[in-house]
Structure 1
Amino acid sequence: MQRRLFISSLAALPLAAHAASFTAVDITGSAIGPDYQLSYTDGKPAALRDFKGKVVMLFFGFTQCPDVCPTALARAVEIKRLLGADADKLQVIFATVDPERDTAPLLAEYMRAFDPSFVAVRGSLAQTAKTAKDFKIFYRKVPSGSSYTMDHTALTYVFDASGKIRLAVKHDETAQQVADDLRQLMNPKKETGFLKGLFQ
């Protein structure tokens, strides 16, 4: 089955009022989230605030996804490579929308297949539904033979080092485009002496 990319929700996201130089959609100031209450694969409570100090890329998907999810995670691997010395400032998080099948051991193995530093989080059906609603993520089961697959929003959210949501990255953006955007968040331009003087 051809995966459908649910990116129409971008139109409903409030955009930042200031001019932006990002390739991704600038959603600074959006009320998305702002956090979740899920679990890591070791069973410990998980929250976005655990990674303050790092730029976070958050993607929702499921391990049996045939194309969208592995492509997004493979892109994240390439983004990390492109960041070079800044790679340690990035944390990639994969949140499953299929907790019935995505057990903790399976998610841990799935992350290791891409990058050992990537983190997976999961919750109960109720926690998953609440998280998806809070983060404006669409997902649903679709019958497939004797089992099912999942349709879901194919966006990656980016949070800055202070934990604030900043960007919505579309699935068709390249690793280079995303890496360039992340560098801007990791290394914001400092005000020139002239500009600083204007505000003193």
Structure 2
Amino acid sequence: MSKLTTALLAMTISFGAHAADTLGLKAGVFDPPRMAPDFTVRGSDGKELKLSQYRGKLVLLEFGYTSCVDVCPVSLGMLAEARRQMGAQASQLQVIYVTVDPERDTPERMRNYLRAFDPTFIGATGTPQQMARVRQDYGITATKKMIDGSKTDYTVGHSSYLYFVDRKGSLRALLPFGRTAADVVHDATLLLKN
């Protein structure tokens, strides 16, 4: 089990206690903050994407896949609303949507999918091995389940957390699925000030 996975489990268990950190974040916090595991994959623009290239911006990492019909579109819609609510500050924020289904999520497919939510969102995809490593580094589980009666179509059950990576590249906070755009705006605004 990776150090981040262990930290994620501990954080999830004591989520409420950590929500009241010194900044007043609504999310659970990484205390102390630690460097976010860097990765090099393919972006939805077809170019190499490194998490570290976004230093200087607040990065929101969301894990999901384009064929998802329930959790993922809700999360992306909420993130798009949060960006709208942030107004001019939204330019200091970058949403990166990391696929848990690299077999189907090509850069083009991710670009077209994300454009429907917010044209500034960037998709991250790669080989199954690359993406398995990213999931492992962030403590994300993903399991394929074949759809009844199909030999080729499947869903991917996966954990759904939103990671906040500050301008210096440190993991600062984690929100579980189901939080509101207002929660994201609140925490993003505080992290941009600190």
Task: Report if aligned partners of 1:26, 1:166 keep a CA contact under 8 Å in 2.
Answer: yes
Matches within 5 A, 1:38-187: 38-145=41-148, 146=150, 147-187=153-193
Task: Report if aligned partners of 1:20, 1:26 keep a CA contact under 8 Å in 2.
Answer: no
Question: Secondary structure at 1:114's aligned position in 2?
Answer: coil
In the aligned structure 1, how far is the partner of 2:87 from the partner of 2:34? 31
The number of equivalent residue pairs is 180
Task: Report if aligned partners of 1:16, 1:27 keep a CA contact under 8 Å in 2.
Answer: no
In the aligned structure 2, how far is the partner of 1:162 from the partner of 1:33? 9
Task: Report if aligned partners of 1:32, 1:136 keep a CA contact under 8 Å in 2.
Answer: no
In the aligned structure 2, how far is the partner of 1:56 from the partner of 1:34? 13
1:198 corresponds to? none
In the aligned structure 2, how far is the partner of 1:160 from the partner of 1:31? 10
Task: Report if aligned partners of 1:26, 1:168 keep a CA contact under 8 Å in 2.
Answer: yes
| Residue of 13, 22, 26 corresponding to 2:25 | 22
Richer in strand (by share): 2
Task: Report if aligned partners of 1:111, 1:118 keep a CA contact under 8 Å in 2.
Answer: yes
1:11 corresponds to? 9
CA displacement, residues 38-76 of structure 1 (integer Å, 9 cap, x when unaligned): 111233221111111110000110001111111111001
Q: 1:16 to 1:173 in 2, by over 3 A?
A: closer
How big is the shift at 1:119? 0.3
**TM-score by structure 1 length?**
0.83
Task: Report if aligned partners of 1:13, 1:30 keep a CA contact under 8 Å in 2.
Answer: no
Choose 1 or 2 for highest CA Rg: 1
1:194 corresponds to? none
Task: Report if aligned partners of 2:19, 2:26 keep a CA contact under 8 Å in 1.
Answer: no
Two-structure CA RMSD over aligned residues (Å): 2.1
In structure 2, list runs of 5 or more residues that go unmatched.
1-6, 13-17
In the aligned structure 1, how far is the partner of 2:136 from the partner of 2:35? 9
In the aligned structure 2, how far is the partner of 1:116 from the partner of 1:18? 33
In the aligned structure 2, how far is the partner of 1:123 from the partner of 1:73? 20
**TM-score by structure 2 length?**
0.86
In structure 1, list runs of 5 or more residues that go unmatched.
1-8, 189-200
Q: 1:28 to 1:119 in 2, by over 3 A?
A: farther
Task: Report if aligned partners of 2:114, 2:123 keep a CA contact under 8 Å in 1.
Answer: yes
Question: Secondary structure at 2:172's aligned position in 1?
Answer: strand
Q: 1:29 to 1:41 in 2, by over 3 A?
A: same
